[in-house]
A and B are shown apart, each in its own frame.
Chain A
Amino acid sequence: MASTTGAAPPGPATADLRPGAPPAPDDPASLKVVPARHYARWAAAVAVAVLVAQFVHGLATNPVWEWGVFRDYVLSETIVRAVWVTLQLTAYATVLGFLLGTVLAFMRLSRSPVLQTVAWTYIWIFRSIPMIVQLVFWFNLSALYRELGVGIPFGPVFWSVDSNSLIGTIGAAIIGLTLHQAAYAAEIVRGGVIAVDRGQLEAAAALGIPRLRQIRRIVLPQAMRAILPTAGNEIIGLLKGTSVVYVMSIGELFYQVQVIYGRNGRVIPLLLVATAWYVVLTSLLSVAQYYVERRYARGADRTPPPTPVQRARRFVRTLREAATRRDRPVVPLKTLGPVGESR
């Protein structure tokens, strides 16, 4: 490759680079840029667009979907109330599940072998039992423990109550979902906590910050960065997972939909009703997740990533600028702004 026989190397490197010299005719900056053409990409886009159009056309015209029935039911009182039940189940199980999960996570991380073992066993058992099996167990709680009471362990009972009246069907469902969720939440939280740099705890300890405060103020906020994406997955999974409690005849979305199509036989449009609601709720959760993640990213990047609104605004501005400067040969490279100088 390298030639040692003197003489200037060939090619554009011979351009006169002395200051004040007139730009050489082959100076790349003065030439028109012709963007590369991607024929295969265009062909693939056309093919996919045709398939999508076909599918949408089918959705709109195939009578089996029965959009009229869909319209009648999607905002009906029964369905909206069922959505409310679904949301409540999700909210309770999320909040309680993650609270219990956080406790379990710190038990597993504690120095006490007893706490470690108990937490480990809990997680092992509740991850092993299918949710539906567990729910039916809780549904039949009164068969297992007819009365629940408060007293001295293994000693006399001071106060007791019939288990069925204490825990209704909804209560049993919430307990079941919570216990199931806690086992997974524990591992997610633990994963987040061990992802935090050890130096952070050392610094907090060296500053004499009290132990609980170290966890709440220093460790958890940083652990959230690792916890949130997985937790978002879990909560969305839980939202849809609540449909399992139909086995307990609780009037949540999927159960109610089944009841209705059992009566009128319009299976497809009513499944569409459920689908539409699950999609809407999941989308709302995803948006919420985006903003929560953004909040916990404070300090993680030198410049925080723009919000979708900011991004859209900047995109419109770029388009407008591009339209007014059509004649400019150089394509602006930074059309979408900083990609975040992450470190």
Chain B
Amino acid sequence: MSEVMVDVHGVHKSFGPLEVLRGVDLRVRAGEVTVILGPSGSGKSTLLRTINHLEKVNRGWISIDGELIGYRRSGNRLHELKEKDVLKQRTHIGFVFQNFNLFPHLTVLDNLVEAPVSALRRPRKEAEETARRLLERVGLADKAGAYPRQLSGGQQQRVAIARALALEPKVLLFDEPTSALDPELVGEVLDVIKDLARTGTTMIVVTHEIGFAREVADTVVFMDDGVVVEQGPPAAVLDAPRHERTRAFLSKVL
């Protein structure tokens, strides 16, 4: 089996008195797709946001490709990284938001070019070529000059995926990528993600699309109340869940 790309180890996270993550362990191998399922409030999105350090963890650690996220280890101390270094780490971690969060005042092309040019110091011309190739890949080659608000929700999310890919990240995180879309637009976004899965991109996807999980996931993780309740191949978790809580959740959404 291939090496571990994302390693989440004993992560705790609280917002004030509310403990959202209560010791989460998760391992994702390179080239695999992990789908996280669970009722709302179970901590799925928070877990995803701790992986690229949008949220700081209170306890535990996370590493990507062997590199600790947000901290530097020397001896048996963890030194908190400065924002500048955290930003550098984030260029290896693509993040796709539920609400797309495209930059509305920039054209589609500029949305894709911005981070490679400013964070990775790529020459603009090279970044534009990459951007156009990525737009073609998500089927939006003709929208390079459009502004995000001139696109449908599905198109915007495809642009957002292309934007995350422009940094050539080691892992892609999706936070409910289709939850803000009209039902008829969900398919086009899932198709893009499936295509990425086929080409061996390491991905963690938080979603409510059980069918997608069954079709694409190598591992399905079921979370509830801030812990991983069970995980395994989709056939095991979705069709023969061992835990009562998993069964209760699946009976509601299937």
On whether the two chains bind one another, the answer is yes
Q: What range describes how many residues of A lie at the interface? A: 20 to 34
Known contacts A199-B97, A202-B54, A299-B148, A207 near B105 by CB under 8 Å: no
Other-chain residue from B103, B115, B147 in contact with A200 (beta carbon distance below 8 A): B103
The reply to whether B88 and A208 form a contact with Cβ atoms under 8 Å apart is yes
The reply to whether A203 and B87 form a contact with Cβ atoms under 8 Å apart is no
Interface residue A298 (Cβ < 8 Å from any Cβ of B): yes
Task: Provide the bound-state CA to CA distance between A184 and B83, in Å.
Answer: 30
The reply to whether A209 and B105 form a contact with Cβ atoms under 8 Å apart is no
Task: Provide the bound-state CA to CA distance between A218 and B119, in Å.
Answer: 14
Interface residue A300 (Cβ < 8 Å from any Cβ of B): yes
Task: Provide the bound-state CA to CA distance between A329 and B220, in Å.
Answer: 66
Other-chain residue from A210, A222, A343 in contact with B105 (beta carbon distance below 8 A): A222
Task: Provide the bound-state CA to CA distance between A206 and B103, in Å.
Answer: 13
Interface residue B81 (Cβ < 8 Å from any Cβ of A): no
Known contacts A208-B91, A210-B84, A300 near B115 by CB under 8 Å: no
Interface string of B146-184 (1 = CB under 8 A from A): 011110000000000001100100000000000000000
Task: Provide the bound-state CA to CA distance between A211 and B114, in Å.
Answer: 13
Known contacts A296-B105, A302-B150, A206 near B90 by CB under 8 Å: yes
- On chain A, the residues within 8 Å of B83 by CB distance are 211
Other-chain residue from B54, B99, B104, B119 in contact with A299 (beta carbon distance below 8 A): B104
- On chain A, the residues within 8 Å of B103 by CB distance are 200, 203-204, 218, 222
| Chain B residue at minimal CB-CB distance from A298 | B105
Task: Provide the bound-state CA to CA distance between A198 and B120, in Å.
Answer: 24
Interface residue A213 (Cβ < 8 Å from any Cβ of B): yes
- On chain A, the residues within 8 Å of B118 by CB distance are 209-210, 213, 217
Enumerate B74-130 residues with CB–CB distance to A below 8 Å.
Answer: 83-84, 87-91, 93, 95, 97, 99, 101-107, 114-115, 118-120
Other-chain residue from A200, A209, A217, A299 in contact with B101 (beta carbon distance below 8 A): A200
- On chain B, the residues within 8 Å of A213 by CB distance are 118
Most buried by B among A197, A213, A343: A213
**18 A-B residue contacts at CB 8 Å?**
A206-B54, A208-B88, A208-B91, A208-B120, A209-B87, A209-B114, A209-B119, A210-B87, A217-B114, A218-B114, A221-B105, A222-B104, A296-B105, A298-B147, A299-B105, A300-B104, A300-B105, A301-B149
Q: Other CB < 8 Å A-B pairs besides A203-B95, A207-B164, A299-B149, 17 of them?
A: A199-B97, A199-B101, A200-B101, A205-B90, A206-B52, A206-B54, A206-B90, A207-B115, A207-B163, A208-B88, A208-B115, A209-B118, A210-B84, A210-B87, A300-B149, A301-B149, A302-B149
